[in-house]
Chain A
Amino acid sequence: AQTIHQWPVAEIKAVGSPLSLGCTIKGKSSPNLYWYWQATGGTLQQLFYSITVGQVESVVQLNLSASRPKDDQFILSTEKLLLSHSGFYLCAWSLEGGQNTLYFGAGTRLSVL
């Protein structure tokens, strides 16, 4: 069975500090991977997606970057956090193909102060 693990569960960070969030998928080879951001009570905004190692496509950057260093790992980062980065970050995976059901991780709740 496929499992998706996000880390950390929650973060409280200062404005201007760096950030790194991670996501690991086990039990599925070469999944499509996605980062979504959700402001409190808000909609799901897609940030990045990756269909293969080393390749990441940006949808909305929000002064963030993403990388896929391994087939099962997806990293979201920034060198300088803004207040507007606060929210709920969700990693998701899907199979290749048009059916494209997304399976979300438990998420990371980020508070920038």
Chain B
Amino acid sequence: DQQVKQNSPSLSVQEGRISILNCDYTNSMFDYFLWYKKYPAEGPTFLISISSIKDKNEDGRFTVFLNKSAKHLSLHIVPSQPGDSAVYFCAASNYSGNTPLVFGKGTRLSVIA
């Protein structure tokens, strides 16, 4: 039973355009969501997070949107740059319950120059 789903295994975007990575979750107890970025042969690095009391969080070129009723979140990268090419993992937890992060399978983003 996959609680966090990233249904697109890969995404290709032209440099300068917007990248939109999607994530769906099934556990209504999740109240904290994170995105991690992973380059080959490296560990994931934290990118941006959002708690369930918000519907949007922005950090530079990265914005995360949360739609609680749809149990859906998305990561927008604009403008996309070649250095953004990586695997992006969505993760969720019940923060107040101190539960471990549950990760999606990841989406491989390729930004084409």
Chain A bound to chain B:
no
